[in-house]
Amino acid sequence: MTFSFVYITAADMAEAKKIGRVLVEERLAACANSIPGMESVYRWQGEIETGSEVVLFVKTRSALVDAVAERVKQLHSYDCPCVVSWPVGSGSPEYLQWIRDNTRG
């Protein structure tokens, strides 16, 4: 079994908390960490934009990443939310077991 971290950006802390809570309640994620205070510079619809965002890190099984992305799209205020993932190469066996125990199997 493999595990992944999913990186999501949200418009504000309220949105990040809502998304994180739903993902954990629905067992799509074992944990969601919200980190406020990120400043973003990006191109949107041909214009350079800047803004504050909140980073959301989600810990899940790799097999659930697509379901996480779909659920985030349903909950998110952005037209094109950032939802990207990378595999966890290794980790504490107890922690990885905890992720396994707290996500859909």
Query: Chain-wide mean pLDDT for the chain?
Result: 97
CA angle 18, 34, 48 (to 5 degrees): 95
pLDDT tens digits, 36-75: 999 999 999 999 999 999 999 999 999 999 999 999 999 9
pLDDT at 105 over 90: no
Q: What pLDDT, on the 0 to 100 scale, is given for residue 79?
A: 94
Which residue in this structure is represented by tokens 């990885």? Answer: 96
Alpha-carbon distance values, 48 to 20, 23, 38, 56, 83 (Å): 28, 31, 17, 23, 20
Confidence grade of residue 1 (pLDDT, cut at 50, 70, 90):
confident
Q: Which CATH architecture has domain 3-101?
A: 2-Layer Sandwich (3.30)
